[in-house]
């Protein structure tokens, strides 16, 4: 799986990028054929506390999964986004095995 991380309007630390790579690698447990993962990190509304947004797009053959969350920290946003993607992948696998 190819992982691409883009931080918009700020520079992501190496520790944050390592954390994201580790978390996205866990998605391969649920779906073997993941082609790529694109992660977009943004700081929105700097005056509010809940301003760290993470968007993840996962590409698999014939399907794309997408989730986006906004939280207090990028780590929390990544965790919630990964959880949402896990649900989408499981649901997709259930549908495809029923056919």
HSE, side-chain direction, 13 A CA sphere, residue 13: 5
Q: What burial class does residue 5 get, using C-beta atoms within 10 Å of its C-beta: 0-12 exposed, 13-18 middle, 19+ buried?
A: middle
User: Which pLDDT score, from 0 to 100, does residue 1 have?
Assistant: 87
Question: In b/e form, how buried is each residue of 17-51, taking b as 16+ CB within 10 angstroms?
Answer: eebbeebbeebeeebeebeebbbebbeeeeeeeee
Low-confidence ranges of the chain (pLDDT < 50): none
Encode pLDDT of 39-54 as tens digits.
Answer: 999 988 777 778 999 9
Tokens 């053959």, located at residue = 61
The C-alpha atoms of residue 65 and residue 28 are separated, in whole angstroms, by 13
Q: What pTM does this model have?
A: 0.90
Topology annotation, domain 2-98: Double Stranded RNA Binding Domain (3.30.160)
* Domain spans of the chain, in order of start: 2-98
């Amino acid at each position: 799986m190819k992982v691409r991380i883009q931080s918009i309007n700020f520079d992501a630390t190496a520790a944050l990028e390592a954390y994201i790579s580790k978390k996205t690698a866990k998605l391969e447990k649920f779906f073997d054929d993941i082609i790529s993962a694109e992660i977009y990190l943004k700081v929105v509304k700097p005056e509010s506390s809940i301003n760290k947004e993470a968007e993840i797009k996962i590409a698999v053959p014939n399907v794309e999964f997408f989730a986006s969350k906004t939280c207090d920290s990028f780590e929390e946003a990544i965790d919630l986004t990964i959880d949402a993607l896990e649900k989408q992948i499981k649901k997709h696998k259930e549908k495809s095995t029923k056919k």
